[in-house]
């Protein structure tokens, strides 16, 4: 009944305590924004951990091998039983075998203008453990070149040590990726020369990686011995700082590449930001709700006489309730929508910035954030409804 | 929808009221549909108290009051608002208008509070009939008492009702205006087959009353 609401609007003055109302609304906006941001940061972090598209995901990969001691020299292979046991552990998400080359190989430059030659060994690893998405990452016997993924630290070593000592120019990743060189593979029946090219750089595994197909081919035709027991494996884990993991490795006399703690440090920071933002948001929300209910009480109290007369004239509790909900709720829903849209913009900008660095998070706020926004709307709606019902419950006796 | 009063006695006035003879207090009485009841009493005999009890505005009494088939001290807020919107209308002695609303808005409020009984043009017709059309857009708080009384009369006639309760409704009107108001009320009650209960100080012949009672 729009006519009734127009009249009620004139009778029930909602202008009382406008400053308090503005403050409550501002507090509510900040609170909602903080809570939604906390949820979205958590969702983004989850994305980073589990999204396979991330070029340099901060999910944690550990290369594990036996700790070499005087006793096990030469017998550092991992048995099937050891690998299966590792696979069964809760903290291990997946396990990949690192296959080393069992053949002798060397690389050398294709042109004399930039001469280099070095003996070399390769490793290969299942596709899912590789963090470089390159269309060139494939090989068969007819391929023009063997794609190689090199560790970043190789290039750093070259640029900041080797080039100075040899008087050679420094090289960027892009330049290195353009250089085609020769790979010599030596077998019992002589040497085969292939072209090779670096197609990406990675921090994840500190060896020269080649496609598994090439490794199979090399090990089949050029291997010097037939002992193919893997000696290094790569595991994917949610948390390399997990004490269970480190004690397991210690117990089994295994060691992992150490410098993964920076990821867990990132995680601690993200957790802290999320927690501070979330807790602050919830405290602010509680205060804002308190101020807001006080504001409803004030509005009803300042129009107490008029509301009582309306009740005497026959207005029903539900009519009054509906009217007051209509007065208060659109503002609140507006605030939630505004906060959500603002968060959407922030997410978009963060997405843009991170994309440029090869880190992919979703363009828009995720489902959990939408759900949280709806949950906040329902909670505030419920609190508003309860307060209105409580405050308009005047005694019927009014003479 | 009959109204039944069974040994009704307002507690604050009990001692004083029960000393005299009354057609209403401390007796059993029934008002049937469509009856036109006149209740007479000098000042201080509890006319307004009686009206407020009938309208469920006070519950400090002994005895029982039935309006329709519902006992009045056993009524929920929702039932009460339905009763006030559709079954029982009232003209208060102290009028109870919203001073910040215009005369028209005061009347309109009662028209749209429930499914409208009249169209809004009926407000103009009634105002014309009672001679207050020119003050319809004026704030009720700025109108004279006589004008406010006529606003309150029109307001009470906006809704559907089975009973119209009037507490000294013509106290500030001259004879001509009383006549106009009486014929309007008569017309509207007949339209609804409704009865009324009118309280006043003295006897009168404004309406063809079915019963005249002393409080």
Put simply, the answer to whether A397 touches B60 (Cβ < 8 Å) is yes
Residue B203 main-chain phi, psi, to 5 deg = -75, 155
* Cβ neighbours for A99, distance < 8 A, ≥ 6 positions apart: A123, A124, A125, A212, A215, A219, A228, A230
Same domain, A108 and A141: yes
Same domain, A189 and A271: no
Is A93 near chain B, with CB under 8 Å?
Answer: no
What one-character DSSP code corresponds to residue A258?
Answer: S
CA distance A217 to A213: 6
CB A207 within 8 A of CB A151: yes
Q: What CA–CA distances, in Å, run from A346 to A43, A354, A362?
A: 14, 12, 12
The mean per-residue pLDDT over the stretch B139-152 comes to 95
Residues 311 to 370 of A: which have CB under 8 A from any B CB?
311-319
pLDDT band at A52 (very low <50, low <70, confident <90, very high): low
Q: What CA–CA distances, in Å, run from A154 to A61, A176, A181?
A: 19, 11, 16
pLDDT band at B46 (very low <50, low <70, confident <90, very high): confident
Which of A53-57, A142-146, A239-243, B86-90 is most confident? B86-90
Put simply, the answer to whether A316 touches B56 (Cβ < 8 Å) is no
CA distance A279 to A217: 57
pLDDT in tens, A244-258: 777 788 888 887 765
Put simply, the answer to whether B113 touches A317 (Cβ < 8 Å) is no
A15 pLDDT above the threshold of 50: yes
Task: Specify if A397 maps to a domain.
Answer: no
The mean per-residue pLDDT over the stretch A191-206 comes to 86
B58 pLDDT above the threshold of 80: yes
Among the listed residues A96, A142, A141, A144, the one whose alpha carbon sits nearest the alpha carbon of residue A123 = A96
CA distance B23 to chain A (A): 24
Residue-level pLDDT at B134: 94
pLDDT band at A141 (very low <50, low <70, confident <90, very high): confident
Put simply, the answer to whether A396 touches B77 (Cβ < 8 Å) is yes
pLDDT more than 90, % of chain B: 75
What single string gives the DSSP state of each residue in A320-334?
A: HHHHHHHHHHHHHHH
pLDDT band at A158 (very low <50, low <70, confident <90, very high): confident
- Superfamily, domain B3-214: P-loop containing nucleotide triphosphate hydrolases (3.40.50.300)
A262 pLDDT above the threshold of 60: no
Residue-level pLDDT at A58: 47
Residue ranges with strand state E in chain B:
3-10, 28-31, 36-40, 61-67, 70-71, 88-91, 163-167, 195-200, 211-214
pLDDT in tens, A294-339: 878 888 888 888 999 999 999 999 999 999 898 888 888 899 999 9
Q: Please tell me which residue of chain B has the smallest CA distance to A319.
A: B113
Is A73 near chain B, with CB under 8 Å?
Answer: no
Is B190 near chain A, with CB under 8 Å?
Answer: no
Put simply, the answer to whether B110 touches A309 (Cβ < 8 Å) is no
pLDDT in tens, A213-231: 998 888 888 887 766 677 8
Q: Please tell me which residue of chain B has the smallest CA distance to A394.
A: B77
Q: What CA–CA distances, in Å, run from A104 to A94, A147, A183, A218, A224?
A: 30, 18, 11, 10, 8
Which residues pair with residue A232 across a beta bridge? A65, A98
Task: Specify if A367 maps to a domain.
Answer: yes
Among the listed residues A74, A83, A96, the one whose alpha carbon sits nearest the alpha carbon of residue A252 = A83
Mutation for A interface: B81, B83, B87, B91, most A CBs within 10 A: B81
A51 pLDDT above the threshold of 70: no
Put simply, the answer to whether B58 touches A306 (Cβ < 8 Å) is no
Task: Specify if A357 maps to a domain.
Answer: yes
Same domain, A193 and A170: yes
Residue A316 is nearest to which of B81, B110, B159, comparing CB atoms? B81
Same domain, A293 and A219: no
B147 pLDDT above the threshold of 90: yes
Is A15 near chain B, with CB under 8 Å?
Answer: no
Q: Is the dihedral of CA A179, A185, A191, A192 positive or negative?
A: negative
Put simply, the answer to whether A7 touches B78 (Cβ < 8 Å) is no
Residue-level pLDDT at A56: 45
Between A88 and B167, residue with greater pLDDT: B167
Give the count of beta carbons closer than 10 Å to the beta carbon of residue A224. 12
CA distance A264 to A239: 7
Judging contacts by C-beta atoms under 8 Å, the chain A residues touching residue B159 are: 314
Residue-level pLDDT at B120: 92
Cα A390 to the center of its chain, rounded Å: 45
Put simply, the answer to whether A7 touches B101 (Cβ < 8 Å) is yes
Residue A143 main-chain phi, psi, to 5 deg = -65, 150
Is A306 near chain B, with CB under 8 Å?
Answer: yes
Task: Specify if A375 maps to a domain.
Answer: yes
Per the document, the length of chain B is: 215
* Tally of structural domains, chain A: 2
* Cβ neighbours for B11, distance < 8 A, ≥ 6 positions apart: B60, B61, B62
Judging contacts by C-beta atoms under 8 Å, the chain A residues touching residue B60 are: 397
Is A165 near chain B, with CB under 8 Å?
Answer: no
Residue-level pLDDT at A142: 85
CA distance A309 to chain B (A): 7
CA distance B20 to A191: 134
Among the listed residues A56, A75, A55, the one whose alpha carbon sits nearest the alpha carbon of residue A65 = A75
pLDDT band at A55 (very low <50, low <70, confident <90, very high): very low
Same domain, A321 and A271: yes
Residue A397 is nearest to which of B59, B83, B84, comparing CB atoms? B59
Residue-level pLDDT at B22: 87
Between B150 and A359, residue with greater pLDDT: B150
Across chain A, mean pLDDT equals 82
Q: Is A178 helix (H, G, I), strand (E, B) or coil?
A: helix
CA distance B80 to B86: 10
Across chain B, mean pLDDT equals 92
What single string gives the DSSP state of each residue in A335-350?
A: HHHHHHHHHHHHHHHH
A211 pLDDT above the threshold of 80: yes
CB A120 within 8 A of CB A208: yes
Report angle CA B169, B173, B178 to the nearest 5 degrees. Answer: 75
B128 pLDDT above the threshold of 90: yes
CB B17 within 8 A of CB B10: yes
Domain that holds residue A158: 60-237
pLDDT band at A53 (very low <50, low <70, confident <90, very high): low
The mean per-residue pLDDT over the stretch B68-88 comes to 87
Among the listed residues B83, B74, B8, the one whose alpha carbon sits nearest the alpha carbon of residue B39 = B8
Domain boundaries, chain B: 3-214
CA distance B174 to B163: 25
Q: What CA–CA distances, in Å, run from A193 to A102, A124, A210, A349?
A: 17, 19, 15, 48
Same domain, A73 and A150: yes
Task: Specify if A40 maps to a domain.
Answer: yes
Residue-level pLDDT at A261: 46
A54 pLDDT above the threshold of 60: no
This complex has an ipTM of 0.94
Which residues pair with residue B65 across a beta bridge? B5
Which range has the worst mean pLDDT, A39-53, B98-112, B189-203?
A: A39-53
Between A241 and A40, residue with greater pLDDT: A40
CA distance A139 to A154: 23
CA distance B132 to B97: 15
pLDDT in tens, A264-289: 556 677 778 778 878 888 887 888 78
CA distance B107 to A140: 91
Residue B80 is nearest to which of A306, A396, A398, comparing CB atoms? A396
Q: Please tell me which residue of chain A has the smallest CA distance to B89.
A: A313
Residue ranges with strand state E in chain A:
60-66, 92-100, 104-109, 117-120, 123-124, 146-151, 180-187, 190-202, 232-237, 254-256
Cα A216 to the center of its chain, rounded Å: 34
The mean per-residue pLDDT over the stretch B36-46 comes to 90
pLDDT band at A38 (very low <50, low <70, confident <90, very high): confident
Residue-level pLDDT at B212: 93
Is A395 near chain B, with CB under 8 Å?
Answer: no
Which residues pair with residue A237 across a beta bridge? A60, A92
Radius of gyration of chain A (CA): 33
Task: Specify if A330 maps to a domain.
Answer: yes
Judging contacts by C-beta atoms under 8 Å, the chain B residues touching residue A319 are: 81, 113
pLDDT band at B90 (very low <50, low <70, confident <90, very high): very high
Where residue B205 falls (left for φ over 0; alpha for ψ -120 to 50; beta otherwise) is alpha
The mean per-residue pLDDT over the stretch A75-91 comes to 84
Which range has the worst mean pLDDT, A61-75, A154-168, A202-216, B118-132?
A: A61-75
* A317-356 and A304-313 helices, crossing angle to 10°: 130
A17 pLDDT above the threshold of 70: no
Residue-level pLDDT at A278: 80
- Tokens read off for A85: 């046991």
CB A183 within 8 A of CB A104: no
Is B159 near chain A, with CB under 8 Å?
Answer: yes
What single string gives the DSSP state of each residue in B99-138?
A: TTSBHHHHHHHHHHSSS-SS-THHHHHHHHHHT-GGGTTS
CA distance B159 to B145: 23
């Amino acid at each position: 009944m729009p006519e009734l609401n127009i009249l009620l609007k004139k009778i029930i003055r909602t202008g009382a305590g406008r400053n308090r109302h503005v403050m409550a609304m501002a507090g509510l906006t900040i609170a909602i924004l903080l809570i939604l941001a906390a949820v979205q940061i958590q969702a983004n972090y989850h994305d980073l951990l589990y999204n396979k598209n991330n070029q340099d995901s901060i999910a944690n990969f550990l290369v594990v091998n036996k700790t070499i001691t005087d006793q096990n020299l030469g017998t550092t292979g991992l048995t099937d039983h050891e690998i299966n046991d590792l696979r069964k552990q809760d903290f291990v998400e997946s396990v990949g075998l690192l296959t080393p080359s069992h053949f002798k190989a060397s690389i050398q430059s294709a042109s004399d203008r930039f001469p280099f030659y070095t003996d070399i060994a390769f490793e290969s690893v299942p596709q899912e453990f590789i963090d470089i998405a390159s269309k060139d990452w494939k090989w068969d016997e007819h391929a023009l070149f063997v794609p190689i993924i090199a560790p970043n630290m190789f290039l750093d070593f070259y640029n900041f040590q080797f080039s100075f000592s040899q008087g050679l120019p420094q090289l960027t990743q892009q330049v290195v990726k353009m250089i085609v060189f020769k790979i010599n593979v030596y077998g019992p029946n002589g040497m085969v020369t292939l072209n090779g090219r670096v197609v990406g750089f990675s921090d994840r595994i500190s060896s020269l990686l080649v496609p598994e197909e090439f490794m199979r081919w090399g090990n089949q035709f050029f291997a010097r011995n037939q002992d193919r027991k893997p000696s290094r494996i790569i595991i994917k884990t949610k948390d390399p700082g997990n004490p269970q993991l480190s004690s397991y490795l210690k117990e089994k006399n295994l060691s992992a590449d150490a410098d993964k703690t920076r990821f867990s440090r990132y995680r601690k920071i993200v957790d802290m930001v999320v927690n501070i933002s979330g807790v602050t948001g919830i405290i602010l929300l509680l205060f804002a709700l308190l101020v807001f209910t006080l504001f409803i009480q004030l509005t009803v109290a300042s129009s107490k006489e008029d509301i009582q007369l309306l009740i005497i004239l026959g207005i029903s509790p539900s009519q009054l309730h509906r009217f007051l909900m209509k007065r208060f709720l659109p503002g609140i829903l507006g605030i939630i929508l505004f906060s959500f849209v603002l968060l959407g913009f922030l997410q978009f900008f963060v997405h843009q910035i991170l994309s440029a660095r090869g880190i992919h998070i979703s363009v828009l706020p995720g489902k959990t954030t939408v759900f949280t926004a709806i949950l906040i709307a329902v909670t505030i709606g419920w609190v508003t409804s309860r307060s209105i019902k409580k405050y308009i419950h005047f005694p019927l006796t009014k003479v | 929808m009959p109204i039944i009063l069974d040994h009704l006695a307002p507690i604050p006035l009990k001692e004083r009221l029960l000393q005299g003879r009354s057609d209403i207090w401390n007796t059993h009485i029934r008002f049937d549909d469509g009856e036109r009841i006149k209740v007479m009493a000098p000042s201080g005999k509890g006319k307004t108290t009686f009206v407020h009890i009938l309208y469920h505005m006070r519950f400090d009494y002994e005895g029982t009051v039935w309006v329709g088939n519902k006992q009045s001290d056993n009524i929920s807020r929702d039932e009460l608002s339905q009763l006030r919107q559709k079954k029982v209308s009232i003209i208060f002695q102290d009028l109870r208008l919203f001073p910040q609303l215009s005369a028209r808005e005061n009347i309109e409020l009662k028209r749209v509070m429930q499914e409208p009984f009249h169209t809004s043009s009926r407000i103009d017709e009634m105002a014309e009939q009672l001679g207050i059309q020119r003050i319809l857009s004026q704030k009720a708080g700025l109108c004279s008492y006589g004008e406010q009384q006529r606003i309150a009369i029109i307001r009470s006639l906006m809704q559907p009702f089975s009973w119209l309760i009037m507490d000294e409704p013509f106290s500030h009107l001259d004879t001509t205006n009383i006549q106009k108001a009486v014929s309007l009320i008569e017309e509207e009650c007949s339209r609804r087959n409704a009865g009324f209960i009118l309280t006043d100080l003295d006897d009168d012949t404004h309406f063809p009353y079915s019963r005249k009672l002393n409080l």
